[in-house]
Amino acid sequence: MGELQKLHELFQDSESRVLLLINQIDGRHETLETSRKYLEGNGFTMTNLYDHGQVGMGIFGVPGCPLQSSLTGRGICPTIKLAR
């Protein structure tokens, strides 16, 4: 996560790049409160979007979590890399 924070800081003044986290919330193991507490407690300031359902899979075709991906300016996802 520290590397993502550094990348966010690098991109934050860019008009052509942005770093977004998509955080899947299940309401039991991962909640809005536990997520916010973790991010704030560790000083992470990047934009965090919460997925309460199947947005990741339904819109972006995300096969699992965690993963790293990128989108082009046209919204195309050229690569998906599952984290281990």
In the structure, what pLDDT confidence band is assigned to residue 2 with cuts at 50, 70 and 90? confident
Q: What is the pLDDT of residues 37-82, one digit of tens each?
A: 989 999 999 888 888 767 766 776 766 666 666 666 776 665 655 5
Q: Nearest Cα to 11, choosing from 21, 1, 19?
A: 19
| pLDDT for residue 79 | 61
Q: Please state, in angstroms and rounded to a whole number, the distance separating the CA atoms of residues 41 and 73.
A: 32
Separation between Cα atoms, residue 53 and residue 45, nearest integer Å: 24
Say which amino acid occupies 55.
Answer: V
The C-alpha atoms of residue 67 and residue 14 are separated, in whole angstroms, by 23
